[in-house]
């Protein structure tokens, strides 16, 4: 479902931000980047970069994980 939402974004927007809950966003991070993301803990954020011309091109392992961060990472 989340991938369908992304593919529906207006191409006039070069950057978008999504908010949600697990397990969907952990699965989405793994799907988009092809990297194994074990779990996005509470308040985690991640950024994915795509070399695409349209949001409709977003798919499995098409993105590069730019960063993953969460509060307990800094304790």
Please check whether residue 73 is in contact with residue 67, taking contact to mean a CB–CB distance below 8 angstroms: no
pLDDT grade, residue 62 (50/70/90)?
Answer: very high
Cα–Cα distance for residue pair 71/55, rounded to 1 Å: 30
Average pLDDT of span 11-37: 96
Q: Which pLDDT score is estimated for 7? A: 98
pTM score, two decimals?
0.89
């Amino acid at each position: 479902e989340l991938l369908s939402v992304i593919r529906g974004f207006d191409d006039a927007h070069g950057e978008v931000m999504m908010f949600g809950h697990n397990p969907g966003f952990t699965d989405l991070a793994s799907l988009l980047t092809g990297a194994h993301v074990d779990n996005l803990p509470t308040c985690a954020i991640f950024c994915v970069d795509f070399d695409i011309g349209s949001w409709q091109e977003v798919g499995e392992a098409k993105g590069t994980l730019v960063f993953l961060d969460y509060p307990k990472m800094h304790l």
